[in-house]
Structures are given as structure tokens and as C-alpha cells.
């Protein structure tokens, strides 16, 4: 679910993700959107799921950052 939610974010905020990576302010720039996804995820995933927070964070990094590794940025 987390990957799908972040993939949707990429579909509508792709330019903001690229700019955030270039300017090294991705998490500040998309703070509101990431928090909305976090709230939705937490409300719709069984709280007993082991590692739910780890799953969420991995999806965030994988979808928003790793898939955009071709973006020219000073952070890598």
C-alpha cells in the first residue's frame, strides 16, 4: 500500500520531487503530502503488522528517492 501511495504522489508531484532532490529539500518541500500519506497508511494498515513503520519508510525512500537517482543532486 505504501508503494502505491507514493507512486500516486510521483504521478502528481513529479516535478516537485525532482526539484526537491536538486535543492536537497525534498522532505521539507513535500512534508504535508508525506504526512497525509502516513496518516492514510496508518489508518488503513493493521496496527499489529510487524514493521509497519519500516515498510512505510522503505517505500518512501524506494519510490521517491531511489527511482529518481538520475536526478542531478549534490546529495549523491
DSSP secondary structure of 46-66:
-TTSTTHHHHHHHHHIIIIIG
Would 76 be classed as within a structural domain?
A: no
pTM score, two decimals? Answer: 0.83
Could you tell me which of 41, 45, 53 has the C-alpha nearest to residue 2? 41
Give the model confidence (pLDDT) of 10-20 as tens digits. Answer: 999 988 998 99
In this structure, what is the dihedral angle of CA atoms 64, 66, 67, 69, given to the nearest 10 degrees? 110
Give the model confidence (pLDDT) of 46-57 as tens digits. Answer: 989 999 999 999
Could you tell me which of 32, 30, 47, 33 has the C-alpha nearest to residue 5? 33
Would 37 be classed as within a structural domain?
A: yes
Total of domains in the chain = 1
Domain that holds residue 38: 2-68
Amino acid at each position: 500500500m505504501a508503494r502505491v501511495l507514493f507512486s500516486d504522489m510521483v504521478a502528481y508531484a513529479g516535478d516537485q520531487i525532482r526539484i526537491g532532490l536538486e535543492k536537497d529539500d525534498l522532505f521539507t518541500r513535500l512534508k504535508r503530502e508525506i504526512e497525509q500519506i502516513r496518516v492514510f497508511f496508518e489508518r488503513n494498515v493493521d496496527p499489529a503488522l510487524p514493521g509497519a513503520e519500516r515498510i512505510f519508510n522503505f517505500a518512501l525512500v524506494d519510490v521517491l528517492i531511489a527511482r529518481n537517482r538520475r536526478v542531478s543532486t549534490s546529495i549523491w
